[in-house]
Chain A
Amino acid sequence: MTEAITITVDGRALQVRPGTMVTAAVELAAPGRGARVSPGGSRRQPLCGMGVCGECRVTVDGRAHRLGCQTVCAADMEIRTDG
């Protein structure tokens, strides 16, 4: 629980505390913008916070459809919200 770790969200570098979830990192990087775009084109933020609703899905290190609320940030992790 000491030093911050560096990740990138949509190419932008961000420092977060260890233990921060990917959902929180996405919100810290762009407050209110949301993670997922629905089929109808609306931006969504996570709803359930526990891996059920899927509204937090992002691409993590090139792997699509990862659940941000079930993924802990790791050093040098690359998160993309644009698919």
Chain B
Amino acid sequence: MAEPDSDLHAQVLVVGAGPAGLAAAHAAAAAGCNVLLLDAAPQAGGQIWRPRQGASAPPVVDALARLASAGARVLAGLRVTMVLPARTLLVDGPQGARRVRWERLILATGARERLLPLPGWTLPGVFGAGGLQALVKGGWPIAGRRVLVAGTGPLLLAAAATLRSEGAQVVGVAEEAGTPALARFAGVLARHPRKAWQALRLGVALRGVPSMRSWRISAIEGDGRVQRVVLEGEGGRTRTVACDAVAAGWGLIPQTELAQSLGCALAQRFGAAAVAVDDKQRSSVAGVYAAGECTGVAGAQAARLQGEIAGAMAAADLCGQPADTHLLAMRLAREHEFAAAVAATFPMPANWAARLRDDTLVCRCEDVAWSALRGQPDLRAAKLATRCGMGHCQGRLCHDTLAAVMHWPRLPQRAPLWPAPLASLFAIPDTPSHKEP
């Protein structure tokens, strides 16, 4: 699969091999384009179709077979580190850096879990909800451990079901949303049989697990590791739950960093900033499309539909022929109706600052406490004074939190998008290469 020249070229480059990226790559390849699909993970599938101990999920096996027969190339383990001039990306992987030239680019960079700071959240044994689900699929030992699942959103139930099926003792699922909001959501579910069926199956998988509504984590405690969690309910009631691990998440947020680097405009979608796209999945930058969760968190089915539209549109644009995406758009509208209900039912919790204590570490990379941050005037000053957001995650965790809690505007996206070895930056040419592979 490797080419003799370390430079790569594709008519249609797709970044991200989850449901959106796989669908986009297939649609473009089926239309006759030269397609390259990249992913940062060691295997394709994204978060929802994550391999379990190396074994790909059935939809990924099918999608990769279809891609291979359509002639598309798939390279995993490559992370985009920088946007270079002349429609070129710099990517980095275990074998070093490569430049990738594209004619049409489809961003399918997905979403990440919203992970919020709390007293005790840096203790070993605290994980994201989807985070622990992912770790367990990679062989993390969980059998026999007592796990509390907490936060907000449907992902909590999916994570709890996976953990239980792997032998964890799920001691409870604490959902911040209250009964009235969940009852309204049940009404929406009734109009979406496929989603209702999924919810029913999760309910069966979690039979016997204590379900706590309107309960939120106020602190995680333990001596060198998680031993108990203090929950707060309506009217200031508290309860303490003994456990070995916490799996906590507050919904998903679109990953927009690469899009921002390219100059794509963002827009608020389903409760979070997302890559702005039109009904043909075109971003605000010519030649750049976006599909899936990075355009607004709406689930795998929406991602597949958007991917199909983006792939077809990129291909049609290249060969100057129109693509008919009318039917796909109709199905997508239905998925978006459901996504709006999810966003309304499980929002980012209000007044998060009330849960922070002086010594709560907001920036885990650089160990920056809340007391050092709350007096700062803005994100730039906070960064310069405290190194908050200058570690590995480049602010992906703490800047999201601070933007929400302090109402600070986000900083412009800076290169590189991820820390990269100096040697990989030497792959940047003085003038862009125009050599064909």
**Contact-residue size bin, chain B (C-beta under 8 Å from the other chain):** 35 or more
Is B128 part of the binding interface, using a Cβ–Cβ cutoff of 8 Å? Answer: yes
**B139 in the interface (beta carbon within 8 A):** yes
**CB within 8 Å: A-B pair count:** 127
Can you pick out 28 interface pairs between chain A and chain B where the beta carbons lie within 8 Å of each other? A18-B54, A20-B53, A21-B139, A23-B138, A24-B140, A27-B140, A28-B141, A32-B124, A32-B125, A39-B367, A42-B367, A43-B124, A44-B122, A46-B135, A47-B127, A48-B131, A49-B131, A49-B135, A50-B112, A52-B112, A52-B393, A52-B396, A53-B365, A63-B94, A69-B134, A70-B42, A70-B77, A71-B42
How extensive is the interface on chain A, given as a class? 35 or more
**Chain A positions 14-67 with a Cβ under 8 Å from a chain B Cβ:** 16-21, 23-25, 27-28, 31-34, 38-40, 42-55, 57, 63, 65-66
Q: Which interface residue of A18, A23, A49, A71 has the most chain B CB atoms within 10 A?
A: A49
Which residues of B does A touch, CB under 8 Å? 40-42, 47, 51-55, 77, 79, 94, 112-113, 115, 122, 124-128, 130-135, 138-141, 225, 361, 364-367, 391-393, 396-397, 419
**Docked CA distance A56–B77 (Å):** 16
Minimal Cβ-Cβ distance residue in A for B397 = A53
Given contacts A38-B364, A44-B122, A71-B42, contact A49 B141 (CB under 8 A): no
Given A39-B367, A40-B367, A57-B392: A32 in contact with B134 (beta carbons within 8 A): no
Residues of A within 8 A of B128 (CB): 47-49
A48-B139 in contact (CB<8A): no
Of B55, B79, B139, B366, the most chain A CB neighbours within 10 A belong to B139
Cα A33 to Cα B396 in complex, Å, equals: 25
* Residues of B with C-beta under 8 A to A34: 124
What residues of chain A lie closer than 8 Å to B225, measured between beta carbons? 32
Assess whether A51 is in contact with B392, with CB atoms less than 8 Å apart.
Answer: no
A interface, by DSSP: helix, strand, loop or mixed?
A: loop
B364 contacts A51, CB within 8 Å?
no
Please state if B135 and A24 are interface contacts (CB–CB under 8 Å): yes
Would you call A19 and B55 a contact (CB within 8 A)? Answer: yes
The dominant DSSP class at the B interface is: loop
| B contact residues around A39 at 8 Å (CB) | 366-367
Q: Which residue of B lies closest to A38 (CB)?
A: B367
Report the minimum CB–CB distance from B284 to chain A (whole Å). Answer: 25
Interface of A toward B, CB cutoff 8 Å:
1, 16-21, 23-25, 27-28, 31-34, 38-40, 42-55, 57, 63, 65-66, 69-72
Closest to A28 in B: B141
- A33 to chain B: closest residue by CB: B124
Could you tell me if B134 and A50 are in contact, using CB atoms closer than 8 angstroms?
yes
**Which of chain A's residues have a CB closer than 8 A to the CB of B367?**
38-40, 42
- Interchain nearest-CB distance for A66 vs B (Å): 8
**In the complex, A59 Cα to B112 Cα: how many Å?**
25
Query: How far, in whole Å, are A18 and B134 apart by their CA atoms in the complex?
Result: 16
| Chain A residues, CB < 8 A from B113 | 48, 50
Q: Is the CB of A47 within 8 A of B141?
A: no
Residues of chain A within 8 A (CB-CB) of B139 are 16-17, 19-21, 24-25, 28
Point out which of B47, B51, B122 has the most chain A C-beta atoms below 10 A from its C-beta.
B122
Minimum CB–CB distance from B424 to chain A (whole Å) comes to: 12
The reply to whether A19 and B53 contact each other, CB–CB distance below 8 Å, is: yes
Query: In the assembled complex, which residues on chain B have CB atoms less than 8 Å from the CB atom of A46?
Result: 127, 131, 135
**Max chain B CB contacts within 10 Å: which of A19, A27, A39?**
A19
* B413 nearest CB across to chain A (Å): 15
Q: From B79, which residue of chain A is reached at the shortest CB distance?
A: A51
In the complex formed, the residue of A with least CB distance to B128 is A48
Alpha-carbon distance A66/B392, docked complex (angstroms): 11
How many Å lie between the Cα of A55 and that of B141 in the bound state? 18
Contacting pair A51 B41 (CB below 8 A): yes
Who on chain A is nearest to B42 by CB? A72
B314 to chain A, nearest CB (A): 26
* Closest-CB distance, A20 to chain B (whole angstroms): 4
Nearest-CB residue, chain B, relative to A41: B367
Q: Is B393 a contact of A17 with CB atoms below 8 Å? A: no
